[in-house]
C-alpha cells in the first residue's frame, strides 16, 4: 500500500514501523509535524511534548538507556539547546536505537539563522543520515535504528524544510515489534564522570573508523553512473535539484550517510569522471572533507552557501543557464509583511507598550516577535528562545553601573517562558533586577501551530494534564510584584505598566487571553467571554486621524479619498482595541 506523505509524516511512519517505543520533541518549524503525526500510533508508542529541546533529548536518552528504541525531534536551533546532553551521548553510546531529528531551515523561512547541523554530527562524533524524499525519510529511519544499535551510536537525522514539507508517494510496511533490551546497570558506560570519559573517548574514535568503513559499504550511499564528463556528489534535497538540472547528462554519488563520509567510495567515483561538482545546501560540509582527502572538486566556489538551493540556482551556477520562470511586474506586487492576526491578544499589550518612551524592550521567539514591526514598533531585540528575560537583566545591570536612566522591559510567551524563560527569571529574582517582565499567555503554543504546553492543561496525545499556574510559579521563583491582566483592556494594561515602571525591583505582568485562532477548550469558554462580536466605524464621527490604524489590525484600512477608517466585517472578531484607541468614539459595537 502506498500513501502520499510529507517527509515529516514519513519519519513518523518510519519510527512506527521500526518499533519505536518513545518519542519526545519541542515544536518548531519545520519539524513540528513529526510528533503530531506520531499520535495516530499511540496504541503502540508514546509521543510527548517537552518544555524544551534539551528536555526532549534527555527524556529520549533515558528511554534508550532503559532499552527502548527512541526518537527526539527538533528544528536546527533547537539542537543548540540540546547540545549539552548530545555531546556526552556521543561518548556513551546507546542501548536502544536512538535518532535525533534535526530539521534545518535554509532560507530562514521561520528561523533566526541558517546553521547547517551536519557539523553537529562531526563535532559530537555521531552518525549523520540525510534523506532526499519522503520514501527515503521512512526507509532511512528504519536503517538508522539498525545502524544505531549495531555500532552503539546515536544518529543525527538531518532534514531540511523542503524534505520535511514536500510530499511524495511512500510504500507502507508493517510495524516490527522490537523487544526492549533488558536493563542492566552500566556505570562505566553511562556515568559520565571524567574518569569514564577518558575511557570512552578512544572507544568513540575507534567506532568512527568502523563507521567510515561501513559508510563505504552501505546502500545509503550509492553511485548512479551515466555520462562521465560530469560527476556530482550530493545529498538531501540537493540531489533532487541536481537530477532535475542535469538528468542523465551527469553521474551521481548520492550521499545518504554524510558522516562519517564514504571517502574511499567517493575517491573511486571521482576517478571515473572528468569534472566533479559537490552540490549541497548551506555549508561546504562534504566539500571540505573531500578536499582535505585530496579529492579535486568544485562546490562553494560557484554554489552559494546562503539561502535555499533550487534547480534555478544550480542551473545558473554550474551551467550558466537561466531557466524559464513566471515573472510578475513590480507594479503588480503587493508587500505583505507578517503581522499579528485580527483579534490577537498581543495587539492591545503592544499598542500600550508602544506609547512608553525611554524604554529598552527585549523580545523573544514567537508570534509576539511581530511586535517589532510597524506600526507597533515595540521590540528592540530578539536573539533566542528564553533570551528576552536574561537580556533585560543584563541590560539593566549595564545601565545601572553606568548611571543611565532607562527602563528595561522583556516580552516572552507562555510556551517560551516554560522553554527557557523560567531559569532566566530566576536570575532576575536572585539578583533583584529592577526590570519589568511581560509574559504573554495566549493559552497555547501559537506560532508553530497550536501545540499543547505545560500551561494548557492537555498532553500531546489528548489526555488532560496538570496545568502550571504561571502566577504561582513566578511567586515561587521570588517575584513579589506580579499582576495578571486582560490584554484587550487597554486601561488595564496601561495601569499595570505604570505600576511596574514605578516599582523598585523586579516585576512581572502576565497577559492572559486565548489566541484568536485557538480551538477553545471548555476551560477557555468557562474563563473568558468569547461570545461573537463585531465593531464598525461611524463615518460621521471619524476624523481620519489614523490612530486606530496604528494598532496594526489587518481588519482595519484607511480610505485615502474619503479620509475615513473602515473595518472589514468579514474578518473583525470584536477585540475592541481599535474602539478603545479612537479619541473620537467613532468605533462602536455592532448590535445584532
Q: Across residues 173-187, what is the average pLDDT?
A: 95
- Same domain for 14 and 92, yes or no, is yes
How far is C-alpha 493 from the chain's CA centre? Answer: 30
Task: Give the model's pLDDT for residue 304.
Answer: 95
Q: Is residue 166 part of a domain?
A: yes
- 141 occurs within a structural domain: yes
Question: Per-residue pLDDT tens for 261-316?
Answer: 999 999 999 999 999 999 999 999 999 999 999 999 999 999 999 999 999 999 99
Asked whether residue 591 carries a pLDDT value surpassing 80, the answer given is: no
Would you state the pLDDT for residue 298?
A: 97
The answer to whether the CB of 143 falls within 8 A of the CB of 172 is: no
**3-state SS string over 430-499?**
HCCCCCEEEEEECCCECCCCCECCCCCCECCCCCECCCCCHHHHHHHHCCCEEEEECCCCHHHHHHHHHH
Tell whether the torsion through CA atoms of 371, 374, 375 and 379 is positive or negative: positive
pLDDT at 110: 87
The pLDDT of residue 335: 81
Question: What is the three-class DSSP state of 382?
Answer: strand
- Residue 385 near residue 368 (C-beta atoms within 8 A): no
Residue 592: is its pLDDT beyond 80? no
Whether residues 170 and 192 share a domain: the answer is yes
Q: Distance (Å, rounded) from C-alpha 138 to C-alpha 487?
A: 44
Q: Tell me whether residue 351 is in a domain.
A: yes
Same domain, 364 and 505: yes
For residue 435, is pLDDT > 80? yes
CATH number at 296 reads 3.40.50.920
What is each CA distance from 36 to 12, 26, 237, in whole angstroms? 9, 11, 23
pLDDT digit string, tens, across residues 57-105: 999 999 999 999 999 999 999 999 999 999 999 999 999 999 999 999 9
Mean pLDDT of 244-252: 97
Q: What is the pLDDT of residue 338?
A: 85
Tell me if 333 is assigned to some domain.
Answer: no
**Within a domain: residue 335?**
no
Q: State the DSSP code for 371.
A: G
- End of a domain among 191, 215, 239? 215
230: Cα separation from own chain's centroid: 37
- Of 250, 285, 319, the position where a domain reaches its end is 319
Q: Does some domain include residue 329?
A: no
The separation between CA 504 and the C-alpha centre of its own chain, rounded to angstroms, equals 36
pLDDT digits (tens, 9 = 90+) for 250-270: 999 999 999 999 999 999 999
Report how far Cα 339 is from the mean position of its chain's Cα atoms.
Answer: 19
Are 370 and 461 found together in one domain? yes
Give yes or no: residues 253 and 158 share one domain. Answer: no
Do residues 535 and 578 lie in contact, with contact meaning Cβ atoms separated by under 8 Å? Answer: yes
The answer to whether 364 touches 385, Cβ cutoff 8 Å, is: yes
Mean pLDDT across the stretch 450-465? Answer: 92
Q: Are residues 97 and 176 both part of a single domain?
A: yes
Q: Which of 186, 215, 244 is the last residue of a domain?
A: 215
Q: How far apart are alpha carbons 341 and 88 in whole angstroms?
A: 42
State how many domains the chain has.
4
- The C-alpha cell at 35 is 510528533
Q: Strand, helix or coil at 194?
A: helix
User: Are 567 and 477 part of one and the same domain?
Assistant: no
Q: Which helix (H) or strand (E) holds 211?
A: helix 194-215
Task: Name residue, grid cell 531585540.
Answer: 381
Do 474 and 539 lie in a common domain? Answer: no
Q: Is residue 459 part of a domain?
A: yes
- What SS3 class is residue 76? helix
Say whether both 502 and 546 belong to one domain: no
Model confidence at 513: pLDDT above 80: yes
Cα(442)–Cα(515) distance, integer angstroms? 5
Note whether 445 and 481 are same-domain residues. Answer: yes
Domain that holds residue 294: 222-319
For the cut 80, the answer to whether the pLDDT of residue 448 exceeds it is yes
Regarding whether 53 and 163 lie in a shared domain, the answer is yes
- pLDDT for residue 378: 93
- Domain harbouring 459, CATH code: 3.40.50.970
Residue 332 clears pLDDT 90, i.e. is over it? no
In a domain, residue 449? The reply is yes
Between CA 74 and CA 536 the distance in angstroms is 43
Would the pLDDT of 325 be above 90?
no
Residues 190 and 56 occupy one common structural domain: yes
Q: What is the pLDDT of residue 494?
A: 97
Torsion of CA 110, 103, 106, 377, to 10 degrees: 20
Task: With a cut of 90, say whether residue 334 has pLDDT above it.
Answer: no
pLDDT for 324: 83
Q: Residue 329: its pLDDT value, please?
A: 86
Return the number of other C-beta atoms located less than 10 Å from residue 422's C-beta: 18
Q: Is residue 496 pLDDT above 90, yes or no? A: yes
**What are 344-398's pLDDT values in tens digits?**
999 999 999 999 999 999 999 999 999 999 999 999 999 999 999 999 999 999 9
Amino acid at each position: 500500500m502506498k500513501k502520499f506523505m510529507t517527509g515529516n509524516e514519513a519519519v513518523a511512519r518510519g519510527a512506527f514501523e521500526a518499533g519505536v517505543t518513545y518519542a519526545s520533541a519541542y515544536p518548531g518549524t519545520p519539524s513540528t509535524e513529526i510528533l503530531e503525526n506520531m499520535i495516530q500510533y499511540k496504541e503502540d508508542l508514546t509521543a510527548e511534548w517537552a518544555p524544551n529541546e534539551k528536555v526532549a533529548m534527555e527524556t529520549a536518552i533515558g528511554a534508550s538507556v532503559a532499552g527502548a528504541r527512541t526518537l527526539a525531534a527538533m528544528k536546527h536551533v533547537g539542537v543548540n539547546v540540546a547540545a549539552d546532553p548530545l555531546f556526552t551521548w556521543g561518548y556513551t553510546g546507546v542501548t536502544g536505537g536512538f535518532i535525533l531529528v534535526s530539521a534545518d531551515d535554509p532560507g530562514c523561512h521561520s528561523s533566526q539563522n541558517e546553521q547547517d547541523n551536519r557539523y553537529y554530527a562531526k563535532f559530537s562524533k555521531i552518525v549523520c543520515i540525510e534523506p532526499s524524499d519522503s520514501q527515503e525519510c521512512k526507509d532511512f529511519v528504519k536503517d538508522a535504528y539498525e545502524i544505531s544499535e549495531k555500532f552503539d551510536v546515536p544518529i543525527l537525522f538531518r532534514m531540511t524544510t523542503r524534505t520535511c514539507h514536500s510530499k511524495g508517494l511512500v510504500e507502507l510496511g508493517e510495524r516490527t515489534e522490537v523487544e526492549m533490551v533488558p536493563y542492566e546497570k552500566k556505570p562505566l558506560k553511562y556515568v559520565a564522570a571524567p574518569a569514564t570519559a577518558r575511557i570512552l573517548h578512544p572507544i568513540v574514535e575507534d567506532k568512527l573508523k568502523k563507521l567510515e568503513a561501513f559508510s563505504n559499504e552501505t546502500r545509503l550511499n550509492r553511485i548512479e553512473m551515466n555520462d562521465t564528463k560530469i560527476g556530482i556528489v550530493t545529498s538531501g534535497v540537493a540531489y533532487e535539484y541536481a537530477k532535475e538540472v542535469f538528468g542523465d547528462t551527469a553521474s551521481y554519488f548520492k550521499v545518504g550517510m554524510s558522516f562519517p563520509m564514504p571517502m574511499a567510495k567517493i575517491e573511486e567515483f571521482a576517478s571515473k569522471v572528468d569534472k566533479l561538482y559537490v552540490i549541497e545546501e548551506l555549508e561546504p560540509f562534504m566539500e571540505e572533507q573531500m578536499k582535505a582527502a585530496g579529492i579535486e572538486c568544485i562546490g562553494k566556489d560557484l554554489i552559494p552557501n546562503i539561502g535555499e538551493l533550487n534547480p534555478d540556482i544550480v542551473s545558473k551556477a554550474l551551467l550558466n543557464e537561466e531557466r524559464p520562470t513566471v515573472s510578475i511586474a513590480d507594479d503588480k506586487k503587493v508587500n505583505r509583511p507578517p503581522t499579528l492576526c485580527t483579534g490577537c491578544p498581543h495587539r492591545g499589550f503592544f499598542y500600550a507598550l508602544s506609547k512608553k518612551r525611554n524604554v529598552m524592550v527585549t523580545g523573544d521567539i514567537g508570534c509576539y516577535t511581530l511586535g517589532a514591526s510597524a506600526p507597533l514598533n515595540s521590540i528592540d531585540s530578539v536573539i533566542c528562545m528564553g533570551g528576552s528575560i536574561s537580556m533585560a537583566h543584563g541590560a539593566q545591570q549595564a545601565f545601572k553601573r553606568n548611571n543611565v536612566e532607562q527602563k528595561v522591559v522583556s516580552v516572552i510567551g507562555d510556551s517560551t517562558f516554560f522553554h527557557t524563560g523560567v531559569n532566566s527569571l530566576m536570575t532576575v529574582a536572585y539578583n533583584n533586577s529592577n526590570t519589568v517582565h511581560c509574559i504573554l499567555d495566549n493559552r497555547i503554543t501559537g506560532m508553530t501551530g497550536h501545540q499543547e504546553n505545560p500551561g494548557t492543561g492537555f498532553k500531546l496525545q489528548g489526555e488532560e494534564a496538570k496545568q502550571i499556574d504561571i502566577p504561582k510559579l513566578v511567586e515561587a521563583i521570588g517575584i513579589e510584584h506580579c499582576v495578571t491582566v486582560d490584554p484587550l483592556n487597554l486601561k488595564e494594561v496601561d495601569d499595570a505598566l505604570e505600576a511596574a515602571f514605578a516599582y523598585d525591583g523586579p516585576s512581572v505582568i502576565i497577559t492572559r487571553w486565548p489566541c484568536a485562532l485557538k480551538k477553545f477548550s471548555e476551560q477557555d469558554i468557562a474563563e473568558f467571554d468569547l461570545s461573537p462580536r463585531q465593531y464598525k466605524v461611524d463615518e460621521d464621527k471619524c476624523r481620519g486621524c489614523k490612530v486606530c490604524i496604528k494598532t496594526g489590525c489587518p481588519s482595519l484600512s484607511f480610505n485615502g479619498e474619503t479620509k475615513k477608517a473602515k473595518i472589514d466585517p468579514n474578518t473583525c472578531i470584536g477585540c475592541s482595541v481599535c474602539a478603545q484607541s479612537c479619541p473620537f468614539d467613532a468605533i462602536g459595537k455592532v448590535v445584532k
